[in-house]
Chain A
Amino acid sequence: MALFFQQTLTGVSVGLVYATVAMGLMLLLRAAGVMNFAQGNLLAMGAYLSFLFMEKLQLSSGLLMVILALAVFVAVGCVFCSVCFLPFKHAKWPQAMMICTIGAGTVIQECCLLFITAETRSVRPILAGSLSVGGFVIPYQYFFIFGAMLFMMTGLFFLFEKMYCGRVMSAAAQNKYAADLLGIPTNLTTMVTFCIVVCMVGFSGWLLAPVYRVSASLSNFQARAFASVVIGGFGSLKGAIIGGILVGLIEAYSTYFTTTYKDVVVFGCLLLVLAFCPQGIIPSGTKKEKA
């Protein structure tokens, strides 16, 4: 029973990370029509940044770190947008944009490896210690991850569902031409979307760093995010979140019968979903929110 709880907990916490990466993927796909293959590298960049600030520069104040990180993420988001989106607005082949994100991802990863550290490093957790209840142990960092992810998701929902600027952004994502006619600065909204996505994914990388250690292999989370987008239901943010948690749970429970073929189980589920209900588990709302 303790094992079951442990698996569920790891599943959900990893799933929340998949969910944030998947949400970022979804937002970019809607707003810019680009399938971002640099998402994993952005996640790794967040982790590298946490190592840089906490271990290399030994910054003491948490607030300072967050502000600095935010500045870096926004800068990366702006550069990323102007490199990977703006030159391709009128391109005939959408694939060119995709290749460009692959290139940008390589650049981000190499910059991290060259200028921060080339080795796998560990970072001390933001909240040290752990809670042990009847045989199974929960590090406090997990609670922190839960809290921060929930905060981020509710913030995002609030932004896109309730606030005016969020509505403007979804309008620009849904129909660029109409939004242009209504005087919405579509370039600006796309750039803001890129910045939000980079911040979101970067901070999740930051939170993950103490659990998974800092290395370039963090970018492998991206593949699971692709799977979550499809399993949850293509086109909606809710779907991305639920899909992410489901993928995390599937992966955690698959350790009961196999450890080497985890990927086969996860992506096999993806293929099954595509074969039998291609709209994903939450088909409702996709029509409304689809770009």
Chain B
Amino acid sequence: MKKETLRVLLFALSALFAIVLLDQLVITNLKNSQVNIINVALIFFFCVSGMYLLLGLGGVLSLCSVTMLGLGAFVCGFLNTKLNVPIPAAMLLGALASGVLALFLGLLLLKLEGPCFVFGTIGVTYIGQSVFQNFAAFTGGPNGTGGIGKLVLFGYTFKTFKDWFPLLAVFVLLLILLLHRIKQTTFGRSLMAVRDDATAAYCMGVNVYRTKVVVFVLAGVLAGFGGSLYAVHNGTISASLFTFNTQLKFVIMLMLGGVMSPIGALFGTVLVNYLPELARFANSYLNLLYGCLIVLLMIFMPMGLAGILKEAVVRYRVQRNKQLPGDGGKGGPSDVVS
């Protein structure tokens, strides 16, 4: 077996072990509302990981993932409550609907460059926000959609939030492995080439437009699947979640954890979602604290938590190499995070 495969297997096994430990020791002792916050963070990670693919690998800043999340959630809810489609099929169809919307938008918008594309996606988010809030026949309007059925997998019904945690954690683990894998495929490498220099990538034979559209659709499908998970997990969906402010929160989650690292992004997501619970003592000053924190974090660690960690590791290696001059400078400053 190759060393890389072994490492991935080891990572997956230890992560599974960590999930079991977390579930048995931490989650059972938390209040239901706190478990809900963590589960929702894990669901949001689907959306954030799509943005990691777009921004971290592809260098494309898209501000409409929240619309994909919302579409996935509402399609799943609509199919289940109005047309009685069974839950697993409704979830897949929700993800598919988001993918189709993403394909359409990607074909339309990805021809544009820089700020124009960002402005276009902002427009999509505002349209989505308005439609979700007002299109009562589809989304239930201001009341939202309620009474979505429970998920039944292999005869096991997921009833409480605590039942959901292991499932979501395993999903997230699979997602992280998938993201890790994507980075090593031809597609992932061409994506990074597009990020670093689109012209050079084009000259090397990468179809820039198609690569961007594919990654946009992939991010849309992930966000849509996250949305349908959200719908089934909560049982009710309210349109007030899918606003531009939530989208900005997703960007903050990604940047806080580290735009280049899926695991960092996961930590960022959980942290941002759990922060109101942690900083309850600050009550009315909470938002002020939050704003100050964002500013300070961006100034002092623009690559997020993962970036700081990586830098520390590199510095440690450099120091160790200095102490052992015979080591041949392995892991030297050549891969310093810039």
Contact = CB atoms under 8 A, between A and B. Distances in A.
Contacts of A266: 126
Interface string B117-128: 011101110110
Contacts, number: 126
Contacts of A169: none
B119 A270 contact: yes
Nearest to B286: A110
Nearest to B55: A95
Contact of B122 (A223, A234, A261): A223
Interface string A209-228: 00000000000000100110
Contacts of B115: 29, 35, 234
Interface in B119-170: 119-120, 122-124, 126-127, 129-131, 134
B284 interface: yes
A181 to B, nearest CB: 25
Contacts of A261: 130-131, 134
A73 interface: no
Interface string B49-62: 00000010000010
A92 B255 CA distance: 13
A271 B126 CA distance: 11
B85 interface: no
Contacts of B294: 99-100, 102-103, 106
B256 to A, nearest CB: 8
Given A95-B251, A107-B291, A264 B127 contact: yes
B279 interface: no
A275 interface: yes
B8 interface: no
Contacts of A110: 285, 287-288, 291
B298 interface: yes
Interface of B: 55, 61, 108-109, 111-112, 115-116, 118-120, 122-124, 126-127, 129-131, 134, 244, 248, 251-252, 255, 259, 284-285, 287-288, 290-295, 298-299, 302-303, 338
Interface of A: 29, 35, 37, 83-84, 87-88, 91-93, 95-100, 102-107, 109-111, 114, 223, 226-227, 229-230, 234, 260-264, 266-268, 270-271, 274-275, 278
